[in-house]
Structure 1
């Protein structure tokens, strides 16, 4: 890695998108497409806000595409299914990305109801989608997920993510490593959090947030809470040492319910952690094919 990655935050926390901090606090904003952007007026509104922020503050954007857990059914995307809607929605995402010069688009691999069929469908769909992303000059970032009760996910363990990336075999499909999700998984299945960083040069972006590493839904107060750094149990000093092993271009603070003070403090921590660190040449470790079943 030649230089430190850009520091950013999810659009939920930016004032123009209903948040609590100014765009001037970050270098990059991850635009979450959670609303019905298929409507012409909603698309215009999103693009107008983004363009204003680019002009006023010089910030860049990444995009978080809709996924299988999106609340609005019309924009929901699940790559483990054979559904034309997946590509209709994603082509719209790519068109929006092109209009505001977005290079990186975060996607989720999908749900797991039949392990072999769903994983194979996800790979086939991602091959096709990566080719489409290449046409638009974009790079897709596959985000690692964690299992939820009754709704198993694809792309949970590091070996499984590597298997998908290598099976697709496209320079336009890389990884967005979500540290909160990885921490929950590491506690649930007894894998090391360090193992995720061995994905090395495939990792182009991070989602950074804290939690208590507990997956059980009945303990919802300890769920995937997207807390400010230091309010959970993740050792971020070790996380940032490991980030040096990757090809991270963006470090996105991805928070939900947090106040302005804690949000700014987390951004300051990220800047402090990255300042003066020597970035290493990223490498990729070998993993055998890995599934959640094999980790149980």
Structure 2
């Protein structure tokens, strides 16, 4: 046996080598404890203070919804008299279920319509190369500088001539023509996709519609979900268009219904503000749930914005 072998194996007196010793398990290094510095304390304190400023109005609203009429504006977070009667009375004083259904109907159609239409236009501006493309895209962006009041009356006249006033159609059908902001947002995502993917799909025999539906849209899923959530929130809280187009209370959306409750129980003279704040809590909770369900898509969308393949 060579010297090198003797150095690696142990030979007993009988001349038989011992069994090789098992390798000693490597202990992973302990993570270093993060030192809590004064800068960290000040940072988290500032973040906590800003968070409190933002959530305090909803905390106050939620607290007021559990108070009787005389204690709504006592500005106490914990109610002295805790009651659930407001959540029972609000359904009796107003057709909240019907208003919620109208709002869900309008909101879902508006969000889906603007997402699909804006994605198609954004795909056309990002994928196809044609003369005047940048000029046309500049015109689309220029429409964002037009105040809503400029097009409000012409749009009303169009829907009035079509006989659609006092219906829910004008509240969502306008989104079939896309939105300049969402077109810009989605175009940036489409431009970040590698064009080699589209060329490979075209070589495999895919047409333009297939490339959009099977390749581009799935890769831009975070942007599409962000557009859907943004428009869902905008349509859910929209008050201007329901005020313009809706007349009958059975067609009211939640914001329009809250306005009628405010006129009746708030400034109207009855002063039942507990009904108004309770209805406001009921309509705010779906938006909070939607945010928590879609927050990871916000982070993913921000992380991928502006990347180029």
> Which structure has more helix as a fraction of its residues?
2
Settle same-fold status: TM greater than 0.5: no
Higher relative CO (CA 8 A, sep ≥ 6), structure 1 or 2? 2
The TM-score with structure 2 as length reference comes to 0.23
**Bigger radius of gyration among the two:** 2
> Which structure has more strand as a fraction of its residues?
1
The TM-score with structure 1 as length reference comes to 0.24
